[in-house]
A and B are shown apart, each in its own frame.
Chain A
Amino acid sequence: GENVEQHPSTLSVQEGDSAVIKCTYSDSASNYFPWYKQELGKGPQLIIDIRSNVGEKKDQRIAVTLNKTAKHFSLHITETQPEDSAVYFCATKRGNQFYFGTGTSLTVIP
């Protein structure tokens, strides 16, 4: 099956700085790569996603890059704000199945 690794597990940045979270995966058949934000006591929310035929996607302060050859993808958050503090999960999809990374706890220090 798929193995998704996510780094770092914790990340602290100063407000206004950028944050980068990276994930690697093992199954070349995975074709969809979403990122979720989970706030304490809530379910994950999709914040951005990318499909296997695209290398980069941007939505305001958030961007995702995908390197299918190397089997890794990254989440980039620019101009971080305190409300960006949460746990972020990457995921891959193969067929009907989703596989999640282990999560990154992001803290944005005001």
Chain B
Amino acid sequence: GAVVSQHPSWVICKSGTSVKIECRSLDFQATTMFWYRQFPKQSLMLMATSNEGSKATYEQGVEKDKFLINHASLTLSTLTVTSAHPEDSSFYICSATGAGLSFYEQYFGPGTRLTVT
């Protein structure tokens, strides 16, 4: 099946610094990628949707200047958390749909655990 990877799997950073998370589709072209945030024992909260070569569409309440999303190629999307604060600590998950897949399906990455100290 379609494989999506994320890097890093976990990261610890200090308050005020920025951290970049990569999401890659390994065996298909991801025309659309989604970024989710998940708090402990809660559901996935969609942060933004990005289409290759276009600006990301952010959900209401998500600060686009804080969570920078770049979908520059059909296999890579990045999420940069700028000026991170402890409240940004969370589990970030990407997913992708795209060419060669059913229109209906999305495949998730393994997630990135971000801890801001």
Q: Please give the residue numbers on chain A whose beta carbons come within 8 Å of chain B beta carbons, in ascending order.
A: 31-32, 34, 36, 41-46, 49, 51, 89, 93, 96-98, 100-103, 105
State the interface size on chain B (CB cutoff 8 A). Answer: 22
Asked if A43 meets B104 with Cβ closer than 8 Å, knowing A89-B44, A98-B46, A102-B42, the reply is no
A31 partner residues in chain B, CB cutoff 8 A? 104
Q: In the complex the two chains form, is B34's CB within 8 Å of A98's CB? A: yes
- B43 contacts A44, CB within 8 Å? no
**Which residues of chain B have C-beta atoms less than 8 A from A43's C-beta?**
4, 6, 93, 95, 108-111
Contacts of B32 in A (CB 8 A): 96
Kindly name the residue among A34, A49, A51, A96 whose own CB sees the greatest number of chain B CB atoms within 10 A.
A96
Interface residues in chain B, defined as those with a beta carbon under 8 Å from any beta carbon in chain A: 4, 6, 32, 34, 41-44, 46, 49, 93, 95, 97, 104-111, 113
3 tightest A-B contacts by CB?
A43-B108, A32-B104, A43-B111
A41:B42 contact, CB within 8 angstroms: no
DSSP majority for the A interface?
Answer: strand
Return B106 CB to nearest CB of chain A, in Å.
6
Q: How far is the CA of A98 from the CA of B46 in the complex (A)?
A: 9
B105 in complex: contacting residue of A41, A49, A89, A102, CB < 8 Å: A49
Complex alpha-carbon distance, A97 and B113, angstroms: 24
Contact pick for B49, options A34, A51, A96, A101, CB 8 Å: A96
**Contact of A45 with B34 in the complex, beta carbons under 8 Å:** no
The answer to whether A51 and B104 have CB atoms under 8 Å apart is: yes
Q: A49-B105, A93-B104 are in contact. Are A41 and B44 (CB under 8 A)?
A: no
B59 CB to closest chain A CB (Å) equals 10
Of A45, A51, A97, A105, which contacts B108 at CB under 8 A?
Answer: A45
30 A-B contacts (beta carbon < 8 Å): A34-B104, A34-B105, A41-B111, A42-B110, A42-B111, A43-B4, A43-B93, A43-B95, A43-B108, A43-B110, A44-B44, A44-B108, A46-B105, A46-B107, A46-B108, A49-B104, A51-B104, A89-B43, A96-B32, A96-B97, A97-B46, A98-B34, A98-B46, A98-B106, A101-B43, A102-B43, A103-B41, A103-B42, A103-B43, A105-B41
